[in-house]
Amino acid sequence: MIEIDGIEKTYRRGSGAPVSALRGLSLRIARGEMVAIRGASGSGKSSLLHILGLLDVPSRGRYRLEGADVGAASDRERSRLRARRIGFVFQSFHLLPRTTALENVEVPTRYLGARPPQAAVRRRAASMLERVGLGPRLRHYPSELSGGEQQRVAVARALMNDPPLLLADEPTGNLDAAAGAAVLDLLLELRAEGRTVVLVTHDAVVAARAQRQIVLRDGLIAEEIPCPL
């Protein structure tokens, strides 16, 4: 699914010295795997996730997504891949305010190129919300939903275009233990369906439920821990 070789990412902040977030990191993630990326803040785990998600480009190194070299892809091409192949879940949910759960879930279909008919879009959004257990809350606004429910709406949104790859950036970071566990269960179910899930977290308990843990330190892989189960 994912092959990266010698990825480097260097940021230039103002006139200060360049900061290296990633220093020649290589990683393989197989289709259907669930991988947790751990590390202290500043270890480069967010940079890695952004590069994997085609939101950012590496300064150096090679990235092959589903066999295709995407390191030099244009903005348009990367956007197309994000729309069709990658779903994102964020720590702070990032739902559109004053927009119902259904309409939030429908947003990614706008960027598919050829948009399916609205009725089909609505049916699919409703079934995605049912899939995450929010069937009775289709027309609620984010302000009317708990944190856990909002994050499940965000998961439904990530699934809307049926991407094979899900990227989650601290998906349980803003949730209490019970809600966090529910979201994590959901991600595990999705992985069981055959999707590839990459999860960034600093929570060892959450990471421990992944198939494989990768611990970053100073922009390099410090440790790889296979799932004990």
Which positions lie near another protein, rule CB under 8 A? 50, 53, 55-56, 75-76, 79-80, 82-84, 88, 90, 92, 94, 96-99, 103, 107-108, 110-115, 157, 161
In the bound state with another protein, the residue whose beta carbon lies nearer, of 103 and 218, is 103
CB of 224 to another protein, least distance (A): 26
In the bound state with another protein, the residue whose beta carbon lies nearer, of 111 and 222, is 111
CB of 169 to another protein, least distance (A): 8
Q: Is 97 helix (H, G, I), strand (E, B) or coil?
A: coil
In the bound state with another protein, the residue whose beta carbon lies nearer, of 4 and 160, is 160
Taking the C-alpha atoms of residue 29 and residue 2, their distance in angstroms, rounded to an integer, is: 5
Angle between helices 147-159 and 177-192 (to 10 degrees): 20
CA distances for 40 relative to 31, 51, 95, angstroms: 27, 18, 27
CB of 200 to another protein, least distance (A): 13
In the bound state with another protein, the residue whose beta carbon lies nearer, of 197 and 213, is 197
CB of 58 to another protein, least distance (A): 13
CB of 98 to another protein, least distance (A): 6
In the bound state with another protein, the residue whose beta carbon lies nearer, of 44 and 53, is 53
CA distances for 140 relative to 143, 145, 151, 199, angstroms: 8, 7, 14, 27
In the bound state with another protein, the residue whose beta carbon lies nearer, of 152 and 157, is 157
**Which amino acid appears at position 28 of this protein?**
R
Q: Does residue 163 contact residue 87 with C-beta atoms inside 8 Å?
A: yes
CA 195, chain centre distance (Å): 12
Kindly state the tokens that stand for 119: 């009725």
Q: Does residue 161 contact residue 88 with C-beta atoms inside 8 Å?
A: no
CB of 123 to another protein, least distance (A): 17
Q: Which secondary-structure segment (H or E) carries 35?
A: strand 34-39
Q: Is 190 helix (H, G, I), strand (E, B) or coil?
A: helix
